[in-house]
Amino acid sequence: MKILVCISHVPDTTSKINFTDNNTQFDTNGVQFVINPNDEFGLTRAMWFKEKQGATVDVVNVGGPETEPTLRKALAIGADSAIRVNTPATDGFQVAKQLAKVATDGGYDLIIAGRESIDYNGGMVPGMLAALIKANFVNTCINLEVEGTEAKAIREIDGGKESVTTSLPLVIGAQKGLVEESDLRIPNMRGIMQARKKPMNVVEPEEVKVQTEVAKFEKPEPKGAVKLVDPDNLDELINLLHNEAKVI
């Protein structure tokens, strides 16, 4: 089984976020980038298929040279090779089109993408990718088993879970639950050394008309000052909640 894992290069959630050019561009200065957490759950499941069923695992990213350290981390975790589509990721459709070309050229049986990235939270790419390559699709996937060309998946739905049976080729939108957080892997020294020798293939992008553009970024309003109320002064607390916070 050939598996392709789509990797997004996203800011660490602890990074301080700023914008430039009149709040139209994300400022990358001083920002630590990591593998998108939803993609990391998918990559970990792909490694299970590699170890248990002998699958081959490639990782792919749409981005410039600055994303290669993130791909190298995926290689250190255990992926066999990496592909970088040499163009900035501009919107969901553009990314899906680039990934579709890689998926078609590689003849992959299973394509794992995070259900959304934690920076833009678009949630569009896995579904559009599946439509473009005419593959089956299971989103919000929290369990996956593959035997031969048949796949059994469990996905999260409003108020519960849904079990589905489908066939390869298959695209899934991975998320927390596909593997346990305790199963996520930290690259060890041996893996880091091996990653340096694994192939990093750079391919030129397909020509795609961008469908959307960023008009402006805005930060959330800063939090207001905190008022401390003596635990014995319930009357003041009730007054503040009623007249100032207006929550009762």
Q: Could you tell me if residue 104 is inside a domain?
A: yes
Q: Is residue 243 part of a domain?
A: no
pLDDT of residue 94: 95
Predicted TM-score (pTM) of the model is 0.88
Q: What is the pLDDT of residue 224?
A: 79
45-71 CB burial, b ≥16 within 10 A, e <16: bbbebbeeeebbbbbbbbbeeebbebb
What pLDDT is attached to residue 245?
Answer: 82
Return d(Cα 6, Cα 217) in angstroms, integer: 26
pLDDT on residue 34: 95
Within-domain flag for 116:
yes
pLDDT at 225: 82
Between CA 80 and CA 59 the distance in angstroms is 8
Q: Give the pLDDT confidence score for residue 219 in this predicted structure.
A: 87
- CA nearest to 138, candidates 172, 178, 179, 109: 172
Q: Is 228 part of any domain? A: no
Nearest to 114 by CA among 74, 69, 147: 74
The two tokens of residue 6 are: 């789509």
DSSP letters along the chain, please? -EEEEE--EEE-TTSPPEEETTTTEEE-TT--EEE-HHHHHHHHHHHHHHHHH--EEEEEEES-GGGHHHHHHHHHHT-SEEEEESS---SHHHHHHHHHHHHHHHT-SEEEEESS-TTT----HHHHHHHHHT-EEEEEEEEEEEETTEEEEEEEETTEEEEEEEESSEEEEE-TTSS-GGG-----HHHHHHHTTS-EEEEPPPP-----------PPPPPPPP----TT-HHHHHHIIIIIS---
Q: Is residue 76 in some structural domain?
A: yes
pLDDT in tens, the chain (248 residues): 999 999 999 999 888 889 999 998 889 998 999 999 999 999 999 999 999 999 999 999 999 999 999 999 999 999 999 999 999 998 999 999 999 999 999 999 999 999 999 988 889 999 999 999 999 999 999 999 999 999 999 999 999 999 999 999 999 999 999 999 999 999 999 999 999 999 999 999 999 988 888 899 998 888 878 888 898 898 999 998 999 888 88
Distance CA 53, CA 187 (A): 21
Give me the CATH number covering residue 200: 3.40.50.620
Tally of structural domains, the chain: 1
Whether residue 230 is contained in a domain is answered as no
Please state, in angstroms and rounded to a whole number, the distance separating the CA atoms of residues 213 and 18. 18
Q: Which two tokens stand for residue 9?
A: 């290069």
What's the angle, vertex CA 95, arms to CA 73 and CA 65, rounded to 5? 45
Q: Is residue 60 part of a domain?
A: yes
pLDDT at residue number 227: 85
What integer pLDDT is reported at residue 213 of this predicted model? 83
Instruction: Specify the long-range contacts of residues 148-156, CB closer than 8 Å, at least 24 apart.
Output: 149/109, 151/110
Does residue 59 lie in a domain region? Answer: yes
Residue 88 domain boundaries: 2-215
